[in-house]
Amino acid sequence: MKKIKVICILVVFLFGSANLFSKKLPLHLYMPVGYINDRDSALVYCEAGNLKMNEKEYREAIVCFTKAIERDSLLVSAYLNRALAKNKLMDYNGALADYKQLLQLKLSWEESYEVYFNRGLTLALLENLKEAMADFNYAIRLNPEFAEAYYNRSILKGKIGDLQGELIDINKVIYLKSNDADAYNSRGILKSKQGNYYDAVKDFSRAITFDSMNAHFYFNRALIYYAIDEYRASLSDYDMALQINPDAETYTRRANVKSKLKDFKGAFNDLTNAIEMDSNYYVAYVNRGYLKFDLKDYKSAIEDYTLALKIRPDYSLAYYDRGLARGVLKDYAGEIADYTKAIEFKPDYENAYTRRGLAKYVAGDKTGGCQDLNQAVRLGSDFAYNNLLQYCK
């Protein structure tokens, strides 16, 4: 049985300060000479802005926060929350302008590290990792127990390849917040990247202990169980993930497990469910094609590969596997054309050179076939070398 291939796409999120919207608005006791005290009106507009934020009406929220600032130009929370609303609308430069204004105000200790932290989040969204790192560093310098800053700094360190630094920061988060499910999940991902699968499982299990309704945690642990051949445990975790939050990728992954457990009907049904949930999820079409190929339903397999290629025309693997199916049906011209397309999008595709060489040989083009087998050998294919010895003496 051919292994179902799935693109693993690993994703991470930057988490902002959890208490920004719920915290009490700060009272500014310092008022310079000539300052007009319109504080009560400003606070009303700020509270209205907070309500709009909670309702996800970000443009209206910005209007409210702006009116609050017009009435009290020192109201820090209005700038902070207006910047957050701008971030929600992907107006990152507008958010940075608000943080710049904030840093010109007289800030409390708590406000200072929150401003640097939130500006770091915005800079990270703009992929300005160097300046984002500097802001997280300064936020931590101001507040060495600021767990959210360590967490987000760990993400940046992972992006620049500093895995040891990433681990140190995640460990610090866990030290500060021993029940932080996201931190355990992140450490589990990092350990899995390092090949430390058993400790990764422990961390994902801790994450689930603290947040048993997070589908991502079950999904990640299922991936590791699959990697260590614990297919029943993997299946159980995918079942839980699908109960909590069904999606096309999880159905496709579960189909992979069911295939390993020889439940081919269940695997087929899962792939069909994935396609019904997301008709553009090309991986599910390709994997269903694999199952059909193994069941000797070659024409239908070709249909699925073709559907995948309509969605992603540069998917070399789908061309290669469609070529295999066409070869079984003795459509050598179609087979050779598919291998040629696979090579076009992946020039070092040794298997495609090997299969194209054999197809050319069978079709009567011995010279072209041997040229392809030679190229496959140069790319490191032992299978091609054996065929070269047999057919190209």
Q: Which of 336, 379, 341 is nearest to 356 (CA)?
A: 336
CA gap 233, 71 in Å, rounded: 59
Would you state the structure tokens that stand for residue 116, as one six-digit string? 């640097």
CA gap 195, 224 in Å, rounded: 10
- pLDDT confidence bin for 38, thresholds 50/70/90: confident
Check residue 133 and report its DSSP letter.
H
Does the pLDDT value for residue 33 go beyond 60?
no
Does the pLDDT value for residue 11 go beyond 80?
no
Cβ-based neighbours of 373, under 8 Å, separated by 6 or more: 353, 354, 357, 358, 384, 387, 388, 391, 392
Does the pLDDT value for residue 386 go beyond 60?
yes
Would you state the pLDDT for residue 340? 97
Task: Provide the sign of the torsion angle of the four alpha carbons 44, 49, 52, 57, taken in this order.
Answer: positive
Phi and psi angles of residue 327, each rounded to the nearest 5 degrees, phi first = -65, -40
Residue range 181-207: mean pLDDT, rounded: 96
Does the pLDDT value for residue 35 go beyond 50?
no
Burial of 57 (0-12, 13-18, 19+ CB in 10 A): middle
Where do the domains of the chain lie? 314-393
**Chain centroid to CA 17:** 21
Q: Specify the DSSP element, H or E, that contains 21.
A: none
Please tell me which residue, 4 or 166, carries the higher pLDDT value. 166
Would you state the pLDDT for residue 21? 31
- pLDDT confidence bin for 259, thresholds 50/70/90: very high
Residue range 110-118: mean pLDDT, rounded: 95
Does the pLDDT value for residue 53 go beyond 90?
yes
pLDDT tens readout for residues 307-353? 999 999 999 999 999 999 999 999 999 999 999 999 999 999 999 99
Q: How many Cα neighbours within 13 Å face the side chain of 347? A: 0
| Structural contact between residues 257 and 226, judged by C-beta atoms closer than 8 angstroms | yes
Q: Specify the DSSP element, H or E, that contains 64.
A: helix 58-71
Would you state the pLDDT for residue 92? 97
CA gap 227, 101 in Å, rounded: 50
Would you state the pLDDT for residue 39? 80
Would you state the pLDDT for residue 25? 31
Would you state the pLDDT for residue 172? 98
Computed over every residue of the chain, the mean pLDDT equals 90
- pLDDT confidence bin for 94, thresholds 50/70/90: very high
Q: How is 196-234 classified by DSSP, letter by letter?
A: -HHHHHHHHHHHHHH-TT-HHHHHHHHHHHHHTT-HHHH
- pLDDT confidence bin for 13, thresholds 50/70/90: very low
- Catalogue the long-range contacts made by 321-328 (C-beta closer than 8 Å, 24 or more residues apart): 321/286, 321/289, 321/290, 321/293, 322/289, 323/352, 323/355, 323/356, 323/359, 324/293, 324/355, 325/289, 325/293, 325/298, 325/299, 325/301, 326/302, 327/355, 327/359, 328/298
What fold is seen in the domain 314-393? Answer: 1.25.40
In three-state secondary structure terms, 278 is coil
Query: Which position has the token pair 């294919």?
Result: 381
Would you state the pLDDT for residue 30? 35
Would you state the pLDDT for residue 1? 33
CA gap 310, 303 in Å, rounded: 11
**pLDDT above 70 as % of the chain:** 91
- pLDDT confidence bin for 361, thresholds 50/70/90: very high
Q: How many Cα neighbours within 13 Å face the side chain of 117? A: 28
Amino acid identity for residue 174 in this structure: I
Residue range 354-370: mean pLDDT, rounded: 96
pLDDT tens readout for residues 149-189? 999 999 999 999 999 999 999 999 999 999 999 999 999 99
pLDDT tens readout for residues 217-227? 999 999 999 99
Would you state the pLDDT for residue 247? 97
Task: Provide the sign of the torsion angle of the four alpha carbons 280, 281, 286, 290, taken in this order.
Answer: negative
Please tell me which residue, 297 or 36, carries the higher pLDDT value. 297
Phi and psi angles of residue 358, each rounded to the nearest 5 degrees, phi first = -65, -40
Check residue 9 and report its DSSP letter.
-
Would you state the pLDDT for residue 219? 98
CA gap 90, 247 in Å, rounded: 26
